[in-house]
Amino acid sequence: MSSPRDTYEYSTLEVDTEAHTRNQYAETTHAAQLPEVNQNATEHLSYPEVVGATGGDAIKRDVDPTLPEPVYVPETGTEKALPVPERRICGMKRKIFWAVVIGAIVVIAAIIAGVVAGVTTRRDISESDSDSSSDQDAASQIDETALFANTNIATNNFTDEFGNENYLVVYQLNNKAIYLSAWNSSHKNWVVSPIVDGKTNNLGLDSVKKGTSLALDVFAYDNKRRDIHVYWQLPDSGGLSTIKALTYTNDKGISTQSSIPTANWVDSKAGNSYISTAGSALVSYGKQCELCNQYTYLYWQTADGIREASYQNDSSGWYSNPNVIQVDIAAPAENASLVQAHVAAATVYGHRSMNLFYRSITSALSQIVNGDGRYVGHYLGRDIGPSTTIAAFSTGFNETIKNWPQPLGFQVLTMDPTADDGVQLTYYKGDKWTKVDQEVNDLSDCRDRRTMVANHARRIYCLVGKKDDEVKIVEYEWRGDPSDTSTYSNYHKIGNVDVKAK
């Protein structure tokens, strides 16, 4: 904290050095009118006599007991009494004495105030230094390579050519580094790999925003070849953030059974091409199957709404319409949670789509369907408060054939800090949306940090832990039956995601 400067006040009393010249003081003004001393006085006549103004009187033998008479001034002819000397204090005129006393009091008060201020300042500085030292000690105790307690999470999944399920989770560490944890159902262990470590690919940790939004997708060329894309934000600049992106290409040999080299991540042309609001969520999608949407997509929020960019192939590259997505429902609220759940078709007669879920400016939990070359908006029948977390996944297929055995369904989970009612479920079944009023108790631990994501494999990942140094990413699996709504809130806790590199 800044220290106030010591301020000393001085008396403004001035001394007139020309006073005697102007004869303004009583001691000198009437000096010529005072009695003179008789220089001829003897030891018998030791008292000075009064000599008249005109002089010449003989010496008197007896002392005249009378007081001196008034002296006549010849020049004016007026009679003036001899002045009575002014009373003094300590040899000084009263006015001067009290002026000196008051001045001294002011100076002493200023000195006391300065001393008090100095002592207070030194105490404040000492306390500030102590607080600063405590903060530095606390900061020095933070494990920079530990999970950032308020990290955002991104997740995705794929099934490999051997039929093994692979789950991917991306998160941030305390030092702002971005890491990937991967699980292979045959290996049955989490494998941790750095994506941005601050030392590789000319990417320092200053190229990552602390608390950045994260997005992750897997683009499948076929059952054997895949690209992985990850997106994050640069530090804020004027309320905006540039989006960064890296790609791990299939020719580098993607593995979920061993750590993948950081140097194998390469720049994506989506990086440095788009700018989001600083608090925007990031959402991405990569082709998942032959009857899924065929391109790579990236969504983010601007001040005007949601924008989309897509990548078809190397020749066409990335393309983005400069306009926001237009639908017939309210636009998203500022810095709203934004998630995506894709839907596949089972036959060529079905309809594939990407589905965005968000909170609108009217507080409505809303959906934008991107399918068949158009956008369609829907209201899900639930209102949610600001900062509500959303996670979603789909079930079944979007088919036009009647009585299809696996009809389309959605599970949309929300955590509203305003309502403080835990994880709530809104689901889609039988061509309508239904709001469930009871909390999803199996996910109650997710309330600790209100961070929750889902992937297409129906896995949920939450930050759990009340203390910053105890936060973990916990994995849950949905055990519901799409045909039985009474099971929709059934989740099973799998365990913690390993975030420590071996």
The whole-angstrom separation of Cα 488 and Cα 425 is 8
For 134-148, the pLDDT digits (tens) are 555 555 678 999 999
Please provide residue 264's backbone torsions phi and psi, each rounded to the nearest 5 degrees: -80, -10
- pLDDT for 47 equals 33
Q: How far is CA 206 from the centre of its chain?
A: 17
Q: Which residue has the tokens 């399920």?
A: 165
Please provide residue 358's backbone torsions phi and psi, each rounded to the nearest 5 degrees: -160, 170
Query: Where is 173: in which H helix or E strand?
Result: none
For 14-47, the pLDDT digits (tens) are 444 444 444 443 443 334 444 444 444 444 434 3
Confidence of residue 235 (pLDDT cuts 50, 70, 90): very high
Assigned fold of 154-496: Neuraminidase (2.120.10)
- Is residue 276 a contact partner of residue 240, using CB atoms and an 8 Å limit? yes
Give the CA distances from residue 49 to residues 41, 131, 200, in Å, rounded to whole numbers and listed in that order. Answer: 8, 85, 114
The structural domains of the chain, with segments of one domain joined by +, span: 154-496
* pLDDT score of 466 more than 70: yes
- pLDDT for 357 equals 98
CB neighbours of residue 141 within 10 Å: 8
The whole-angstrom separation of Cα 461 and Cα 452 is 6
- pLDDT for 106 equals 72
Confidence of residue 487 (pLDDT cuts 50, 70, 90): very high
Average pLDDT of the chain, as a whole number = 83
- pLDDT for 83 equals 55
Q: Computed from CA positions of residues 377, 383, 387, 388, in that sequence, does the dihedral angle turn out positive or negative?
A: negative
Q: Which two structure tokens, joined as six digits, stand for 92? A: 């000084």
Residue 481 identity (one-letter amino acid): D
For 296-317, the pLDDT digits (tens) are 999 999 999 999 999 998 889 9
The whole-angstrom separation of Cα 384 and Cα 380 is 11
For 67-123, the pLDDT digits (tens) are 555 444 444 444 444 455 566 667 667 777 777 778 778 777 777 766 556 555 555
The whole-angstrom separation of Cα 97 and Cα 104 is 11
Average pLDDT over residues 200-219: 97
Higher pLDDT, 6 or 282: 282
- pLDDT for 138 equals 53
CB neighbours of residue 309 within 10 Å: 18
